[in-house]
Homo-oligomer: A and B are copies of this chain.
Amino acid sequence: MNDVIRTMMAHRSIRKFQDRPVMEETVGDTVAAAQCASTSNFVQAYTIIRVTDQEKRRVLAELAGNQTWVEECPLFLVFCADLNRLDRACTKLGKEMVRGYTEQFIVATVDAALIAQNTMLAAESMGLGGVYIGGIRNDPQTVCDLLHIPDGVYPVFGMCLGYPDHDPEVKPRLPLGVVLKEDGYTGDGDEALIGIYDDVTSDYYKRRTSNKKDDSWSQQVSELVSRVSRPHMRAFLRGKGFAMK
């Protein structure tokens, strides 16, 4: 096993951080390495906003569902899908950008996710740990107001980073056979494998909570997706120029 695989397999979300700053050089190295991620047709349709202002942090932590680690972590980044920069490139060269297509939304969202995953892994390789904060989509308009995010740009998620001050167990993932199929999608065989996995995740939660949490993957996700989540996203995105044509 090489260091890349080892770093990946050691990933777990970190929400408690040592009172130790992340040096500027580390931030720069992390993001510069992360930028080497693939990007659709080289567009690099993302922008990362680092939030240092404590009052902004406080608001973000609260709107993300009182995730105090957003306020407390040494380094907080907001990953944005960004079509605005491309629009500026068009203006500069006397061209007019086509806007509002779903395809562009996918391109920018994927681009932001690819650089984010590289950022997480690069940071982890330097001894940091962190957690994605999808919770900023609870109130994306306030995030935009707070961070002056213009038309054609939207905050996809945040990321807390810093030196870990706890050491949670790695969370077991779905069996390979469930997520990797050959020559066609099929759910055949999934039920048995997911049944076993439910036992594995149930044990994981029991162990982690001294038997207080009795849950399994199927229970947890079915609970989650049987409730409406962030129904405002459509209207919010339309307001930011993502018409989803």
**Of B7, B47, B90, which contacts A185 at CB under 8 A?**
B47
Interface centre among A51, A80, A114, A124 (most CB of B within 10 A): A114
- Shortest CB–CB separation between residue A230 and chain B, in angstroms? 4
Known: A182-B52, A186-B148. Is A170-B219 also a contact (CB below 8 A)? no
Residues of B within 8 A of A33 (CB): 4-5, 8-9
Copies of this protein chain in the complex: 2
Residues of B within 8 A of A103 (CB): 137, 229-231, 233
Residues of B within 8 A of A34 (CB): 8
Known: A93-B219, A114-B117, A149-B185. Is A37-B50 also a contact (CB below 8 A)? no
Which residues from 51 to 88 on chain A have a C-beta closer than 8 Å to any C-beta of chain B? 51-53, 56, 80, 83-88
A-B contact list, 18 entries, CB within 8 Å: A3-B3, A11-B36, A42-B217, A42-B220, A44-B174, A49-B184, A84-B187, A87-B225, A88-B191, A89-B194, A90-B222, A90-B225, A90-B226, A98-B229, A106-B156, A109-B110, A121-B121, A147-B184
Binding site for B on A (CB under 8 A): 1-5, 7-11, 13, 27-29, 31-38, 40-44, 46-53, 56, 80, 83-90, 92-93, 95-98, 101-104, 106-107, 109-110, 113-114, 116-118, 120-122, 124-126, 131-132, 134, 137, 146-150, 153, 156-157, 170-171, 173-174, 176, 178-187, 190-191, 194, 217-231, 233-234, 237, 244-245
Given A32-B173, A53-B183, 10 other A-B residues pairs in contact with their CB atoms under 8 A: A4-B124, A4-B125, A11-B37, A37-B117, A49-B181, A56-B183, A89-B221, A101-B231, A147-B184, A148-B184
